[in-house]
Amino acid sequence: MKTDELISLLAAGEGPVPRHLPARRLGLALLLALLAAVFMTLALYGLRSDLAEVARTGLFWAKVALPTSLAALGLWLTLRLARPGARAGVAWGLLGLPLLLLWVGAALSLAAAPLDARADLLLGRTWRTCALNITLLSLPGMVSVFWALRGLAPTRLRQAGAAGGLLAGATATVAYCLHCPEMGVPFWGLWYVLGMLLPTALGAWLGPRLLRW
């Protein structure tokens, strides 16, 4: 068989790739991740009893804004890295902006607190379980995000896996805010960040193993 004939045979029946396919796949994966995390939060932990009251405060929405902003950046990163040969570029650096704001707020909160109250601001009441709970809630999201990535064509597998893990972890943290009673900025700066870092590290480890094509 001649080369031209082989190419024609391989291309037979192929049409154009649908526009916005990566965005649609990852959008569906994100929706599934959020629904699964909210369902697991309600089933395993329940809503915080004063949610209706605390939701009227700006501090609660600042708490939600942290993982929401990181989820948005994680989605952007994952979309970029889902394309063959794409580089994340400055996108990784942009993750530092919400974290910097958070840590500045945490530092100011600690500086204004009495010395004997600083440990409570850092540890809260749930430091032993917070990061692990977020990691657990992120697992269905990691499955859905990796499903989406496997249907695309990432080539920087470790980075793509890390971005997918961050997306799942940040989405899980948004859902966990419905339960978590902690309202100290230093607590979020330590334990929420650790809770999102664990799925990110897991995604980086799984990327070369599960996303290879």
Residue range 102-113, pLDDT digits in tens: 999 999 999 999
Residue 75, phi-psi category: left (phi > 0), alpha (psi -120 to 50), beta (remainder): alpha
The confidence score (pLDDT) of residue 33 equals: 97
User: What is the average pLDDT score of the chain?
Assistant: 91
Q: What is the mean pLDDT of residues 69-87?
A: 92
Do 139 and 204 form a contact (C-beta atoms < 8 A)? Answer: no
Burial class (CB in 10 A: 0-12, 13-18, 19+), 65: middle
Q: What is the mean pLDDT of residues 17-23?
A: 72
- 10 Å Cβ neighbour count for 168? 36
Integer Cα distance of 106 and 190 in angstroms: 9
* Side-chain half-sphere CA neighbours of 202 within 13 A: 21
Query: What single-letter amino acid sits at 55?
Result: A
Asked whether residue 131 carries a pLDDT value surpassing 50, the answer given is yes
Residue 203, phi-psi category: left (phi > 0), alpha (psi -120 to 50), beta (remainder): alpha
Q: What is the mean pLDDT of residues 137-149?
A: 97
